[in-house]
Structure 1
């Protein structure tokens, strides 16, 4: 579920950056081409810049781990998902 939300946010970021996106079939009008990677990077920066998630926001440990890893893992646990500082996020959640 969280992955679907992230995908939608990436798409919205990409589309919002495109000039003249009212005509989605004619990207030649854009002054700059935006790639999916650029949209993903912008989304990552937004998600990982402040503490907005906690373990209760995830259904499984693997979802929480994916978020922690996305934001830099144990070296940048911005959401404090790894209470024991052992590299494993939200250990009390079910694995999958």
Structure 2
């Protein structure tokens, strides 16, 4: 029973990390923005009395699309906290956004949180690789995280 609970928590961690990876994936974000634009455009034609609100939403989605395509993003929480636009800018690496506190060491990730070595490697590289391995995913410091996991 304990093994079953451990397996469930590992899978849950893996699913959470996969969802987090999707959230950071620029291509996925573009698809979501475009899908929302299509939905808003369709609603614009069917809901006459909400045209002004829907037009405003569509314009905001166009801005989001432009920011995503240009590689510009801002962490609004950090902007409010620091008041600095420069400090709130989110960086993009290999098509993925570095969002949240995953890389600052406040959340402890280990190889059990990943189903495949490639997922662990992507997370490891996003957080800075050998120079910033706060989660000790690369025990032998050879640049490969969680080498014991299966390849995907």
TM-score if structure 2 supplies the norm length?
0.43
Structure 1, 33-42 or 44-53: larger mean CA deviation: 33-42
Query: Kindly tell me: are residues 50 and 62 of structure 1, through their superposed partners in 2, closer, same or farther at Cα, counting changes over 3 Å?
Result: same
Q: Which residue of 2 aligns with 1:64?
A: 120
Q: Which residue of 2 aligns with 1:14?
A: none
**Structure (1 or 2) with the greater helix fraction:** 2
Higher RCO (CA-CA < 8 Å; seq separation 6+): 1
- When Rg is computed on C-alpha atoms for both structures, the one with the higher figure is 2
Q: Which residue of 1 aligns with 2:21?
A: 6
Q: Which residue of 1 aligns with 2:91?
A: 41
Q: Which residue of 2 aligns with 1:27?
A: 60
- Structure 1 unaligned spans of 5+: 12-22
CA shift at 1:87, angstroms?
A: 0.8
Q: Give a deviation string over 1:42-96, Cα, whole Å, max 9, x none.
A: 9625221125211101001111001001111111112210011111100110011
TM-score if structure 1 supplies the norm length?
0.64
In structure 2, C-alpha distance between the alignment counterparts of 1:51 and 1:84, rounded to whole Å: 22
In structure 1, C-alpha distance between the alignment counterparts of 2:142 and 2:24, rounded to whole Å: 30
In structure 1, C-alpha distance between the alignment counterparts of 2:132 and 2:110, rounded to whole Å: 14
In structure 1, C-alpha distance between the alignment counterparts of 2:150 and 2:24, rounded to whole Å: 26
Q: How many residues align?
A: 84
CA shift at 1:27, angstroms?
A: 1.8
2:129 to 57, 73, 82: 73
